[in-house]
Structure 1
Amino acid sequence: MHAIVIDEPGGPEALVWREVPDPRPGPGEVLIDVVASAVNRADLLQRQGFYPPPSGAPPYPGLECSGVVAEVGADVEGFRPGDRVCALLAGGGYAQRVAVPWQQVMRVPEGVDPVEAAGLPEVACTVWSNVFMTARLRRGETLLVHGGASGIGTFAVQLAKAFGSHVVVTAGSAERIARCLELGADEGVNYREEDFSEKVRADVILDIIGGKYLARNVRALKTGGRLVVIGMQGGTKGELDLGMLLVKRASVHGTTLRSRPVDEKGVIVRGVVGDVWPLFDAGALRPVVHARVPMSEAAEAHRIVESGEHVGKVLLLT
């Protein structure tokens, strides 16, 4: 098969489409003929040498894919060759084939284009596990989503609205805020022009920025609020006002998804299939795709994501 190989960390040009050995499914694994993958910020970090794959994961980038089951290993439950699926991966999505634990594989939701399904596993599992499992967002509460026009942001907006929450986003332009409002967001804050902590009071904050926003995030929390940090685009360190945290009886959570054990990912995946996938059939959710790029031209896809001007997901087609 062919896959995207990174010989030396660097810029987008470090991504090389090359013939590599075919994977084989081990016990408990499903082998998928990949139709498409999608670009995530973690892929950019891996390309730059800052985010190596976990032990045992394929060396190629790619945290999600869609395709068709080609083969199943021993002790696989619920899947057989020919099934149309999408999967949450620890790596290896930028390839024509990938082997993945069956617990991380999902059938493509009803009514969703099999190619567009490639951009769903990472965002769906990230939003479900963080906003609903960890932060316990409830109907009627306010969710603040930083980077509302990103892949995670556009999915969080839709899912929170489907569960009856008030949604506020931050974004860097009026055009990107407008796109978020079209998806169901109730309010938008242009972070280039306004301080969100002076305008917003939220029960739950989903944050991809990290250190740079820590103090303001705590300030923006309501009493009993929950901050979930899932990214560090604004650095790894920030000042935490413990006095304010105590007075608000608030909490700060830091989480990752890629390095979790298979069983933990399986719990998240089952929640997504049971509680999120039916919303596609009901018309409450839809994939948001900015661009489709041939996988052999992954460098161009990375340039699009690095520009920060995309809305939703950038897909890679085999």
Structure 2
Amino acid sequence: MKVVQFTEYGGPEVLQRAEVEQPKPGSGEVLIKVTAIGVNYADTARRQGAYVIPTPLPFIPGAEVAGIVEEVGEGVDHFQVGERIVTLIGSGGYAEYVVAKANALIPLPDDFDDETAAALPLQGLTAYHLLTTMGRLEKGETVLVHAGAGGVGSLAVQLAKHFGAGKVIATASTEEKLTAAKELGADYGVNYTKADWSDEIMKVTEGKGVDVALEMAGGDIFHETIHCMRSFGRVVVYGVASGSPAEMYPSGLMNRNLSVIGFFLPQIMKKPILFEKSLEELLHLVNNGTLKVTIGGVYNLDDAAQVHESLQARKTQGKLILKP
């Protein structure tokens, strides 16, 4: 079967098409014929050898897929061949077929398209748990969402409103992206490429700061975000897109009783109740029109290197999808 993998760390050019043997499902597993693959910043970090956990070589990236059950392994009786599903896997998604644990599959409604389904699990669950499980958002609080027009950000803006946030402030690098975030429900948009962006946020909040901030850039963005926080505020860190991890002194949090909280989605997979119920809720919110998933582009699997390049250059909005 066809896959896209890398055998060395590096830029997008290390992604290469290859032919590998089609996997077989083991006990409690299913074989999925992949119809759509979500692309994420985590895939680029894997490719660069800069992910949170080690990336073995050779490696096939891709953590979320939608597809059709092709074959079931021993002991699987709650899924049938031909059923449409969506799931999160550790890796291996840039392929025509993948094997996944049956207890991690979520059935798709008949009218739910594959591309939207593949766009939802990783970024949707991330946005959901950043705000709820980790950020402990309360009704009426102010939320700061960095990269508010991106994959996680665009969903977080909407979910923050759905969960009762009083104000949602989105940052982005262009006016076009800020407009997109506002169209999704952000009350204010701030261009974080400007030197005084954190001062602007303080003006918007009348000098009070924000209660919950979702931070994935690192470096100076992290430190400026700390400056924007209200007393008892929570900064939830879920990435280092700038490539520059922030250094901090915990004692600097004391004068405002601030919390800095780390989030790593694979840990959620270890608690099925957090994974299954929240993903089913997200699918329902999309299906009833409450949550809009923005697809930034659909590409052939062979174009994975081009897609990675565009993603890292911040030339895209919304979710990028690959199709075998």
Q: Scaled by the length of structure 2, what TM-score is found? A: 0.89
Aligned match of 2:211 in 195, 199, 203?
203
Match of 2:247 in 1: 238
Residue range with higher mean Cα deviation, 178-187 or 75-84: 75-84
Indicate how the Cα distance of structure 1 residues 137 and 261 shifts in structure 2: closer, same or farther if over 3 A, else same. Answer: closer
Give the number of equivalent residue pairs: 315
| Matching of residue 191 in structure 1 with residue 162 in structure 2 | no
CA contact (8 A) 1:58 1:92 kept: no
Match of 2:256 in 1: 248
Match of 1:307 in 2: 313
CA contact (8 A) 2:38 2:119 kept: yes
Question: For 1:262 and 1:281, how far apart are their aligned partners in 2?
Answer: 23
CA contact (8 A) 2:59 2:92 kept: yes
CA contact (8 A) 1:57 1:90 kept: no
3-state SS of 2:114 partner: coil
Q: Could you tell me which amino acid in structure 1 is paired with residue 270 of structure 2? A: D
**Structure-to-structure mapping, 1:89-238, within 5 angstroms:** 89-108=89-108, 111-165=111-165, 166-200=167-201, 201-234=209-242, 235-238=244-247
3-state SS of 1:115 partner: helix
Q: Which runs of 5+ in 1 are unaligned?
A: none
**Aligned-pair Cα RMSD in Å:** 2.3
Q: Could you tell me which amino acid in structure 1 is paired with residue 187 of structure 2? A: D
Question: For 1:39 and 1:58, how far apart are their aligned partners in 2?
Answer: 18
3-state SS of 2:24 partner: coil
Q: Which runs of 5+ in 2 are unaligned?
A: 202-208
Residue range with higher mean Cα deviation, 77-86 or 292-301: 77-86
CA contact (8 A) 1:36 1:317 kept: yes
Indicate how the Cα distance of structure 1 residues 22 and 52 shifts in structure 2: closer, same or farther if over 3 A, else same. Answer: farther
Question: For 1:249 and 1:304, how far apart are their aligned partners in 2?
Answer: 39
How far did 1:25 drift? 1.7
Indicate how the Cα distance of structure 1 residues 226 and 52 shifts in structure 2: closer, same or farther if over 3 A, else same. Answer: closer
Question: For 1:139 and 1:300, how far apart are their aligned partners in 2?
Answer: 41
Indicate how the Cα distance of structure 1 residues 155 and 304 shifts in structure 2: closer, same or farther if over 3 A, else same. Answer: same
Indicate how the Cα distance of structure 1 residues 143 and 191 shifts in structure 2: closer, same or farther if over 3 A, else same. Answer: same
Percent identity, please.
36
Q: Could you tell me which amino acid in structure 1 is paired with residue 283 of structure 2? A: W
How far did 1:132 drift? 0.9
How far did 1:145 drift? 0.7
